[in-house]
Amino acid sequence: MSDDGHQYNDSNRAFLQAFMARGALNFKEARPILAAIFTVHGKQGAETAEEDVTEADMLSYVAAANNAISFFDLEIRSMPSQVDRTRIWALVNTTSDPMTQLATMHSADEISYLKRLLDAMFETYNTPRQEIMAITDMQAIKLHKNLSESQANNTQDGGMTQNSAGKGLTMADAERTLKSFVEEGWFERSRNGFFTLSPRALMELKQYLVTTYNGPGDEGEEEEERVERIKNCHACRELITVGQRCPTRECAVRIHDVCTQNLFRALRERNCPKCKAEWVGENYVGERAVTTTEAWLKGRRRSKGGARTSGAQQRSTQLADEEGAGEEEEEEE
């Protein structure tokens, strides 16, 4: 169906408008859109079925769209899903600070709230013990207030939390704002109630996250000793917030679940590519760093066993467990 020789026309404009309305698309989602466009703008009386639309058609329209929007510092980029490698295309801003973009739709207090959420994801709940990089709704809503000046000064180095002019949000406002971040495509919410950055957000915020949370470390430290909270998959080199980690806590190797099979087939052994520890596949990055723990599973069993434990109470118990784990880690250090 692809016709690379045609000039930018109404069919391209229709595709771009549909893309901008959604923010992100995979090929499966794009097929009915392109089929409808081809039916309307194609030969009179010729209807295009979804199965007749090829990935080459989509790539052709994406390329044409990028030519048209490059003057506005916008670009359609793609990355494979961390879960199943389905390629996802998203509209991103190539120059503007992400917080500046969000400021066109959100208040200063809402932007400050987003910064606290990111701090929680990539600092508080991203430690050598548990690389969760996600946050539950209970944990998120607890962050509705702005930090006091003394609290702000005591945040971890590299953090991006800042005070805004106001006192913060009410709990109801925080819940509403969190919902809007999901609707706008910045966050995704899992079945277990964890919020993570969406593929679109990862594409747009990647450099921002690396710059903010991968600190330079203390003066005189070796490169491998410096803070590296944001890591890439050892196999595909894409950013990883969901996957597996080396069982050796000091080792920096992280691999997407879908990348492990091909990697270990090529290596002909199931050992860490760097430290050679046995790779058992039971050490996780992402929410499974919590949901596979005995504390979490025990809470789920209590709930299913008839105990009148609400989801909020369960998450509160989980938060206490995680805070306790953090305190134990500090004592070890």
Residue-wise pLDDT for 231-244, tens only, equals 999 999 999 999 99
What would the pLDDT profile of 48-72 be if each residue is shown by its tens digit? Answer: 999 999 999 999 999 999 999 999 8
The verdict on residue 46 lying in a domain is yes
User: Do residue 205 and residue 153 come from a single domain?
Assistant: yes
For the chain, the domain total comes to 2
Measuring CA to CA, which residue among 146, 144, 123, 143 is closest to residue 133? Answer: 123
User: Do residue 89 and residue 48 come from a single domain?
Assistant: yes
User: Do residue 52 and residue 135 come from a single domain?
Assistant: no
Last residue of one domain, picked from the residues 67, 97, 127: 97
Asked whether 111 and 221 are in contact (CB, 8 A), the reply is no
Mean pLDDT for the stretch of residues 136-141: 94
User: Do residue 112 and residue 86 come from a single domain?
Assistant: no
The domain in which residue 183 lies consists of 105-213
User: Do residue 110 and residue 189 come from a single domain?
Assistant: yes
> How does the average pLDDT of the chain come out, rounded?
83
User: Do residue 115 and residue 79 come from a single domain?
Assistant: no
What CATH number does residue 173 fall under?
Answer: 1.10.10.10
Distance set, CA 144 to CA 12, 48, 256, 278 (Å) = 42, 49, 32, 42
The verdict on residue 296 lying in a domain is no
328 C-beta neighbours (distance < 10 Å), count:
11
User: Do residue 150 and residue 166 come from a single domain?
Assistant: yes
User: Do residue 44 and residue 112 come from a single domain?
Assistant: no
The pLDDT-based confidence of 247 (bands split at 50, 70, 90) is very high
User: Do residue 141 and residue 70 come from a single domain?
Assistant: no
Asked whether 287 and 190 are in contact (CB, 8 A), the reply is yes
Asked whether 56 and 2 are in contact (CB, 8 A), the reply is yes
- The pTM assigned to this predicted structure is 0.78
The verdict on residue 71 lying in a domain is yes
The verdict on residue 45 lying in a domain is yes
Last residue of one domain, picked from the residues 55, 78, 97: 97
The verdict on residue 265 lying in a domain is no
The verdict on residue 164 lying in a domain is yes
The verdict on residue 20 lying in a domain is yes
Residue labelled with tokens 């910064």: 115
Quick check: 272 pLDDT over 70? yes
For residue 44, the model assigns a pLDDT of: 60
Percent of the chain with pLDDT over 90: 59
DSSP secondary structure string for all residues of 264-312: HHHHTS-B-TTT--B--S--EESTHHHHTSHHHHHHHHHHHTT----HH
The pLDDT-based confidence of 325 (bands split at 50, 70, 90) is very low
Asked whether 90 and 203 are in contact (CB, 8 A), the reply is yes
Pick 305 or 333 by higher pLDDT.
Answer: 305
The verdict on residue 279 lying in a domain is no
Last residue of one domain, picked from the residues 213, 232, 251: 213
Pull the structure tokens for residue 248.
């050796």
What CATH number does residue 39 fall under?
Answer: 3.90.1150.220
Pull the structure tokens for residue 234.
């050892």
Quick check: 165 pLDDT over 60? no
User: Do residue 28 and residue 62 come from a single domain?
Assistant: yes
User: Do residue 142 and residue 168 come from a single domain?
Assistant: yes
User: Do residue 80 and residue 55 come from a single domain?
Assistant: yes
